[in-house]
Structure 1
Amino acid sequence: MLLLTLNFRKHEVVSGDQSPDDVSSVRRRLAALASKAHSGCTSSTRRLVFRLSEGSLIFFAETTGVNIMWCLDLQVRETQALILAPTRELAVQIQKGLLALGDYMNVQCHACIGGTNVGEDIRKLDYGQHVVAGTPGRVFDMIRRRSLRTRAIKMLVLDEADEMLNKGFKEQIYDVYRYLPPATQVVLISATLPHEILEMTNKFMTDPIRILVKRDELTLEGIKQFFVAVEREEWKFDTLCDLYDTLTITQAVIFCNTKRKVDWLTEKMREANFTVSSMHGDMPQKERESIMKEFRSGASRVLISTDVWARGLDVPQVSLIINYDLPNNRELYIHRIGRSGRYGRKGVAINFVKNDDIRILRDIEQYYSTQIDEMPMNGEARPRTATVVPNVVIPPPPRL
């Protein structure tokens, strides 16, 4: 379930299905741009896209897998919008998404994330940024140093709020909120509704508007889901090598549940002469940025990662997701496979399932009202009682 909770105090909410006819002539070009982006929104985003008021435009769109926010007076070189995200990569992606529209509005946006130079953050903030995207720890550090001034902030966006709480950012989020003006508008985006999320909405908001998406709307169109029965853990590696040899892919992400497993699998794949890259939260920030740059450019085709890559990150060329390990909770499943099949493209998700994983697989199917078939053989889905021998006859990708 996806929840957007918004605290609108004074302004009319306009349905995403309505065209922005009332926008001022000065903003018509921006409205056209927003309308174009709106066509690629998800069902949750389409339900609330425009809020129009005199002299301002607020726009939410998931054109890059995150919510992009416009609520700015460009004549004022102060921070007016603050976006918190659970991972450094997601915060940087949000920043780049806003900067990509700089040709239209000349928005100044900076990413405050851990693992980077504090002095550079201070210098950028002193210059003046309309929007700051970042992780809670570094953002709060900049506020305490009085480098990030909050007096002009109009909106706080908590992206992937449930994941931030899972990572232990609750106190830091509350600390940041205490420094914001009382009239700050809050947007909270969450895939699940744990008690902590409801507690946060009650604390931050008055009479919030909630946009709820049913589970059956979350099954992603265009993504074919399969499983491969591997029986035992030690059989997974050989199965992966067989798949790698037989499937032609644009780009793929292989998910593991632990950082140690990512490192182990990366080493094993390279020893077997397969070209792969890897990323997890223990890597230095510079290395993570370099890996992401290579993967986005297509220089790297296969990425092995933990769930640091499952939330919000967007690489349109990704066509295949392999769950080397089934996720620890069913909500993560939809985030993982949602990394493929972006912008109407076709995608494939393949799950490696041991004998003791069958219960988890069935739970995922029931929760999302979907069916995950056994891996096709020679182009046809096989009965679930059969043992799978991956043998999809497709030219193999090149090796280095």
Structure 2
Amino acid sequence: MATRREPPDLAALLRKRKAEEELASKPRFIPKKERERLAAEKKAKEEEELKRKEEEKKNGTAPTSSGLSNGDSSSRHRSQNSIPTGPKAMRNADDRGGRQPQPDGRDGRNGDERGARGAKRGAPNDEDKRVKMETHDQAELRARYMGPVVNQSTFSAKKKRRRTAANKFNFDWDPDDDTSRPFDPIYADRLEPMFKLGGYEETDELVQRKADAIRRGDPETGEERARLLLEQHERAKQQAARKSLGVHWSQKSLDDMKERDWRIFKENYGIATKGGAIPNPMRSWHESNLPRRLLEIVHDVGYDEPSPIQRAAIPIALQARDLIGVAVTGSGKTAAFLLPLLVYISELPPLTEINKNDGPYALILAPTRELVQQIESEARKFATPLGFTVVSIVGGHSLEEQAFALRNGAEIIVATPGRLVDCLERRLLVFSQCCYIIMDEADRMIDQGFEEPLTKILDALPVTNEKPDTEEAENPQLMKKYLGGKDRYRQTMMYTATMPPLVEKIAKKYLRRPAIVTIGNAGEAVDTVEQRVEFISGEDKRKKRLQEILNSNQFKPPIIVFVNIKRNCEMVAKDIKSWGFPTTTLHGSKTQEQREASLAALRNGQTSILVATDLAGRGIDVPDVSLVVNFNMPSSIEAYTHRIGRTGRAGKSGVAITFLGNEDTDVMYDLKQIISKSSISKVPEELRRHEAAQSKPTRGPKKVEESGGFAGKGGWQ
């Protein structure tokens, strides 16, 4: 049975026809190799045609004959009517073997030449068009099969580097920017400096030859002329050396020092001064203008080089200027005010039976008994060889003993404010001829509540020799003169580690146009102390850690351990003794004899560890302390600074270890700041990330420390 034939589907035919039309309308894709082959064949044909035309021109062959001879048989019998005409025929005249006449009557030779040249010029344009067309075709094909390009990145690493470099400031020093002569390559090959003499530059060798020639040519006066020439040349060399900037200040004489040299000198030693008519610092003891006898004593005591505070303060004090010295603890402040004081006293009349009961010539005030006795011991090293008497007045000794020490008078008195007020009120002492006042550790005296007795003492001084509060107070000639033939203007100096408002108030009231000397940054620890912080909470854990530190044998005695309250002193000391270490204590509940015995035992090596409160935090000088342990963190950063200042003194290095707990959040911010400013210390991560160390807390009024303070008449620490 025959199969029934199905009629064609019209929709299928339409779809097929539409697909064929779309396929025919699409551009035919030619592979790249095929396109390159076709382009090469076309270029070869053009070159062959041009070469043939050039040969015809050289041979002088007529185009017609050439065309007939080279053409096929059908071209010979081609009739004239079959010759095509029009622009296309004019372009292809050479293919027909003849030239068409031009409208101006010329033959087509020049036109052919112009056409050839035009073809040569047009070849690159055709190539560019072909490349553009191929690029366009590729773009269309890519868009057809892969879709449009979206989210295309415009990132350029080169542009990013250019933008970053344009906005970034370069802090590095470029050696090409150095214009100083010692580093200039122009002067690298100079063998000998040249000095200008008589309008031209001469070397030492040339000047010597000229001097020899003068001696030979002039037997009579040649020797004198040669000598004058050499002296003139030497003076020129010295003048050139003074003007040179490449010589360090240490290699220059005092007369050759310029303002730039003094500025570098101050930067090297961290000296900053403020005030009018301030003299330059002294570079060495021999340039200090101190008397020769006093310089010999300084050498005998063992002071080889002056400290920064001594370099800056001594020249100012020798000009009878009032002075405020701000320096870190352990910087040599004691000698800085003692030496000018001795110079001042040596210019006054000696004490006799007539004036010995009129009081001392100089008064030194300090906050604690230990510091007073330390200043007394240091002062006697310099004063005793000069024949001066130094007496200390402190609590813990009977007033009768101190009155007996003053029976023959004393040029210098060192005292604590509380006991000195007792002596004044009992008429054991007067200040009729006192004209030199020094307040050491002034901020500490204010902290301990000595503001009232300090004011009483300063008000008890004579007023007839007060300095005027004018520019005359900055004139050393006027301030050094005698008043009435015997007295001199009062000179007041204040040494402190910080400048709280109450200290500034006293300074404004009693000092006249003072010069302010600051060494380093006020309130910061010295760079010779490595500060370490450990977070340990609880007394037992801290004692265990302290035992590990002491048993490590990393630190040689003496060692100082600080606590905050007096009863903890004895407890911690008892535990340290049980570990086998000889230990002593120092706090406000001990008598004066016990305090002196504790410090003496630590200094002479009888005990290796001292457990103390803040009583030992200021001014106490124990040589070669290798370690300070803050068993309890103090309540103020100032007390912390003075505690760790017991080590790292006199240029030596030391270590300070502090135990921190959650109760110390009020000082964590300041502690982080002071450790971060140290070049040899590192802030621990736990302290850096602690919440309390991120911002400065708001504090209330300060409390008087438990270790001691002024508590009315007769009080002492």
- For residues 205 and 5 of structure 1, the distance between their equivalents in structure 2, rounded to whole angstroms, comes to 16
Where does residue 526 of structure 2 map in the other structure?
220
Where does residue 391 of structure 1 map in the other structure?
none
1:361 shift after superposition: 4.0
1:316 shift after superposition: 1.3
Where does residue 49 of structure 1 map in the other structure?
314
> Secondary structure of 1:264's partner?
helix
Contact 1:90 1:313 in 2 (8 A): yes
Contact 2:288 2:314 in 1 (8 A): no
What amino acid is the match of 2:410? Q
Q: Does 1:293 align with 2:600?
A: yes
Q: Does 1:93 align with 2:368?
A: no
Where does residue 446 of structure 2 map in the other structure?
165
Q: Does 1:140 align with 2:421?
A: yes
Where does residue 629 of structure 2 map in the other structure?
322
- For residues 384 and 341 of structure 1, the distance between their equivalents in structure 2, rounded to whole angstroms, comes to 26
Which is strand-richer, 1 or 2?
Answer: 1
Contact 1:6 1:185 in 2 (8 A): no
What amino acid is the match of 1:260? R
Unaligned runs of 5+ in 1: 375-381, 386-400
- For residues 94 and 286 of structure 1, the distance between their equivalents in structure 2, rounded to whole angstroms, comes to 18
- Cα distance change of structure 1 residues 109 and 12 upon mapping to structure 2, 3 Å threshold: farther
Specify the structure having the higher radius of gyration (Cα).
2
Where does residue 229 of structure 1 map in the other structure?
535
Unaligned runs of 5+ in 2: 1-269, 467-489, 688-717
Q: Does 1:277 align with 2:551?
A: no
Where does residue 31 of structure 1 map in the other structure?
295
- Cα distance change of structure 1 residues 215 and 112 upon mapping to structure 2, 3 Å threshold: same
Q: Does 1:304 align with 2:568?
A: no
Contact 1:17 1:47 in 2 (8 A): no
- Cα distance change of structure 1 residues 52 and 32 upon mapping to structure 2, 3 Å threshold: farther
What amino acid is the match of 1:82? L
TM-score by length of 2: 0.47
- For residues 319 and 13 of structure 1, the distance between their equivalents in structure 2, rounded to whole angstroms, comes to 37
> Secondary structure of 1:37's partner?
coil
- Cα distance change of structure 1 residues 350 and 367 upon mapping to structure 2, 3 Å threshold: closer
Where does residue 379 of structure 1 map in the other structure?
none
- Cα distance change of structure 1 residues 157 and 22 upon mapping to structure 2, 3 Å threshold: closer
1:240 shift after superposition: 0.8
Which is helix-richer, 1 or 2?
Answer: 2
Identify the match of residue 561 of structure 2 among 245, 254, 265. Answer: 254
> Secondary structure of 1:314's partner?
coil
Contact 2:581 2:609 in 1 (8 A): no
What amino acid is the match of 1:219? A
- For residues 424 and 366 of structure 2, the distance between their equivalents in structure 1, rounded to whole angstroms, comes to 16
Q: Does 1:205 align with 2:486?
A: no
- For residues 559 and 659 of structure 2, the distance between their equivalents in structure 1, rounded to whole angstroms, comes to 15
What amino acid is the match of 2:294? L
Where does residue 377 of structure 1 map in the other structure?
none
- For residues 667 and 381 of structure 2, the distance between their equivalents in structure 1, rounded to whole angstroms, comes to 40
Contact 2:617 2:646 in 1 (8 A): yes
1:141 shift after superposition: 1.7
> Secondary structure of 2:650's partner?
helix
> Secondary structure of 2:313's partner?
coil
1:187 shift after superposition: 0.9
Where does residue 649 of structure 2 map in the other structure?
342
TM-score by length of 1: 0.81
Contact 1:151 1:180 in 2 (8 A): yes
Contact 2:525 2:641 in 1 (8 A): yes
1:83 shift after superposition: 0.7
Contact 1:3 1:211 in 2 (8 A): yes
The superposition leaves residues 96-121 of structure 1 with CA deviations (integer Å, 9 ceiling, x where unpaired) of: 00112245313210110011021111
- Cα distance change of structure 1 residues 4 and 138 upon mapping to structure 2, 3 Å threshold: farther
- For residues 157 and 46 of structure 1, the distance between their equivalents in structure 2, rounded to whole angstroms, comes to 18
- For residues 307 and 4 of structure 1, the distance between their equivalents in structure 2, rounded to whole angstroms, comes to 29
- For residues 137 and 46 of structure 1, the distance between their equivalents in structure 2, rounded to whole angstroms, comes to 32
Where does residue 398 of structure 1 map in the other structure?
none
- Cα distance change of structure 1 residues 7 and 299 upon mapping to structure 2, 3 Å threshold: farther
Number of residues of Structure 1 aligned to a counterpart in Structure 2: 368
Alignment of 1:164-203 (within 5 A): 164-182=445-463, 183=466, 184-203=490-509
What amino acid is the match of 1:281? G
1:185 shift after superposition: 1.4
Q: Does 1:152 align with 2:433?
A: yes
> Secondary structure of 2:498's partner?
coil
- For residues 296 and 82 of structure 1, the distance between their equivalents in structure 2, rounded to whole angstroms, comes to 27
More moved, 107-116 vs 69-78: 69-78
